[in-house]
Each structure stands twice: as structure tokens, then as C-alpha cells.
Amino acid sequence: MKNVDYFKGKKIVVLGLAKSGLAAGTLLHKLGAQVVVNDLKPLAENIQALELQQLGVEVICGGHPLEILDGKIDLVVKNPGIPYSNPLIQKAIEKDIPVVTELEIASIISEAEMIGITGSNGKTTTTTLIYEMLKESKRVPLIAGNIGTVACEVAEKATEENILVTEVSSFQLMGTEHFHPKIAVFLNLFDAHLDYHGTRKEYGLAKAKIFRNLTTDDYCVINEDDAEVMMLAKEVIGQKVTFSVKKQVENGAYVKDGYVYYLDEKIISIENIVLPGAHNLENIVAAICAAKLAGATTKRIVEVLSTFAGVKHRTQFVTAINDRKFYNDSKATNMLATKVAVSAFDQPVILLAGGLDRGNEFDELIPTLEKVKGVVLYGETAPKLEKAAQKAGLTFIEIVNNVTEAVNKAYEHSDRGDVILLSPACASWDQFKTFEERGENFIEAISKLE
């Protein structure tokens, strides 16, 4: 770790627990900060808060009393999912107290350089590809961030011999001032999380904070097929490396005549790439750019692309039962992700969808629903999705209570050769804590069918 005394003696409020709050609270306490942890869940049923309390951390649970910010507070570290409209956050802003996410802590203490990957879709796949491509490079890659292990927890153990491959969300990036990746990857921009950011413009600006601290020695990897991404990167100081699946680019990776290239080097035939779906070509060319810049060999890149079939919860093949194939795309928390997932299949698809109601309608999904065999819907958004499915002319529309019932109903109505696809088009928080939990529930329901 570097800057080990940066937080020493500072009074810091950690707002919200879950994985990020627990990691941040534990690390800041270890670094000598005076930490106060505040979480909505009552202490008696809050395992993470009890764990911190045993370490000697002050814990306030069961609500968000504004009095926590009375006196001198140096910093608020908030859970990324807590909106800025939260009264405690509003009071902190009024008092000019910096409000950050744990990604900021990671950027301050990490000895290792970082690759940061953001975008509306494809972050997890691209992050995993880069990590795998770098496994035989001079610096040992560590994977971190929104993909699993909390960034500050990984950064604590990282050295100069490592490189942190870090998936970062707009929620995390909003709470950064010093975050400085050596390579910043911005994949794409579509409507998502507008209930949190308010407008598409603000959402894009939050994503673009990944470029904020780049220098002329750093790189930004950007999508030449996405005009908004290119515009947001227009004033970036870092060296620009682009990728495209539609045209040849001068400085980056692209697809041409059935092959993937990096600069003038032919990397691999598209026919030899295992990862399914045309949409994944964007993720692949982006990953090649970042991996090459970080020292990956062509040999290793080809090995990964010839064997890597996808990440868990992202169009993940689960199993086949009586010639019905089951795919888990629980990470599809918006309509675009579901569109992409459905388009990856030529076989008849029975779609399982539904989840948290963020206030939007699903008319944008109608052209995609027109292509599926039927839908099984659950969760808060089931009635809205039903309307969209009716407009799409579907005759097989079922509403059930949960994912387990959805699996059973889909299988009951399926035929040999069908794909049964969980791709919810919604966040999971109405019935599950995370999209991972939703995906595991789907897999468990399938196992009971077997």
C-alpha cells in the first residue's frame, strides 16, 4: 500500500454496508481513521455491522440520523447504490464534506496501476477477458471492482508487480476525485440507471469521470462506433486508442474480412472465437486493446478467445434437459442487455423476465419480444412486461410469482430445440439482494428439474 497515513486520524462516516461498506470500514479502521459506520438494517440482524463493532468500530444502525454529521467530519464513504438524494448525503454536501465511494480509497492506496472498464453493457465480460489475457504477462493481474471483490480490498494487497483490472460503474465513478487508471476503457452508452442519475446526459458525465485524471502517459480505449462515447472523450488528455466492429481504425482493434486485427496484426479468425453473440465482438476488440497496451501477448490472447465461453450470469450456458437449453443472463438489468441476449440465438426462445420497477415502460422491448416464442414474467414489472408482450402479439404469456415458478412454467410449455433464457431486463432488488443471487436461484430451480 501507498499513502498509508492519508486517512490516519480523520473522522470518516461509512454510509451503507454490504460488501463495499464492510471492506471500506475495515480498511479505514486499520489505517487509523476514526470510523463511524451507519446502516439502515437494525444491529441485531446486521452481521456485517456486528463484525465491525467487534473490531472496535463505532456502529449506528436502524436509521440514518442526521446528527451523525454534527461536529467535524472529514469524509463520507457511501455505498454506491445509495442515491445522492439521501438526506444524509444532502447534508454532507451542504456542509462541504467530500462524499466518495470505496473506489476512491482504492485509487489512493493502490501501489498497482489500474485498468478501469466502464460502459452500459459488456463491462463484466470485457473485464474478465482482459484479466484472462494478462495472466501470462510480466505483471500479475488482479480482478476487482463491480465484478466481485471490492476494489479497496484488492488494492490493499496489491504491489507494483500487479495490475488491477477493475470493473467500475457510474455509481462508483460519481464518488471519485483521485481515481486514476493507467488504461481507461469506455465501452458504450445507452439509457440505464436514469432513476439514479436523472438524465442520460448526467449518466454519461458520470461514466466519463473515468477519464478525469488521465495524463499524456495514460490511455483511453474508446468505442469508435458510439458517437456519444467519442464525444465524451473529445477533451481527454490521455492517448486515444479506439476499437470498432464496423470499420478499420488507425490506432486500435477492429474486424475486417472475418478476422480481428490489432493495428496491422491479424489476431484471430472470428470463426475460432468461442464466445457467442455478435455483441461480444465489441467486448473482444475492446479487451484486445487494453490487454495489448498492458503487455499481453498475441499467443495468450488467441488462447483466451479460443476457449473462453462467457462469464457467470451473462448469457451463461447452464445445462440441457431433454433437448431444451437453459441460459442464465441474470446480469441483464436493462432492456438493451435483454435485446442483445435474445439476438444471440437462432433457436426459439422462451424468455423469463421481470424485477424491480424503476418507473419505465417496456415498449422499447417490443421488437425483441416479437422474435421470441413466449414469455414467463415475474416480479414488480410483470404487468408492464405483459402489456409489451401483448403489443408484440405473443400468445404465450404467463405471470408467476418468482424465478423458480418461471423455470417450471417455461419448461412445461417448451419443446425440443427451445432455449429457455433468463434475461430479466430489470434490476433484481424487488426479490433478491443481487443479480448473482437471482442467477443462482435460476440455476437451482433448473437442478430440481433435472
Quickly tell me which residue has 476525485 as its cell.
177
Calpha distance 253→270 (Å, rounded):
13
Crossing angle for the helix pair 18-30 and 47-54, to the nearest 10 degrees: 0
Please say whether the beta carbons of 397 and 373 come within 8 A: no
Burial level of 307, CB count in 10 A (0-12/13-18/19+)? exposed
CA angle (375 as vertex; 374, 380 as ends), nearest 5 = 165
146 is in an annotated binding site: no
How crowded is residue 303: how many other Cβ atoms within 10 Å of its Cβ?
16
Separation in Å, CA 374 to CA 41, 60, 97, 286: 39, 48, 51, 34
Residues 6+ apart with CB under 8 A from 435: 313, 330, 331, 333, 427, 428
Three-state secondary-structure class, residue 341: helix
Q: What separation in angstroms does the CA of 57 have from each of 19, 33, 155, 233, 301?
A: 16, 10, 21, 41, 45
The answer to whether 119 is annotated as binding is yes
55: left (phi over 0), alpha (psi -120 to 50) or beta: alpha
Q: Is 16 annotated as a binding residue?
A: no
CA distances (Å), origin 120, targets 123, 124, 194: 7, 11, 12
Is there a contact between 255 and 288 (Cβ–Cβ < 8 Å)? Answer: no
- Closest Cα partner for 328 from 303, 309, 301? 309
C-alpha cell at 391: 403489443
Strand ranges in 270-415 using DSSP code E only, listed in sequence order = 316-321, 324-328, 349-353, 374-377, 397-399
Do 168 and 103 contact (CB within 8 A), yes or no? yes
Is 125 annotated as a binding-site member? yes
The set of residues, in sequence order, having a beta carbon less than 8 Å from that of 47 and lying 6+ positions away, is none
Known binder of ligand: residue 170?
no
Largest CA distance in the chain: 67
Strand partners, 75: 12
Task: Reduce the DSSP state of residue 142 to 3 states and report it.
Answer: strand
- Give CA–CA dist 20/104, Å, rounded: 12
* Binding-site residues for ATP: 119-125
* Binding-site residues: 119-125
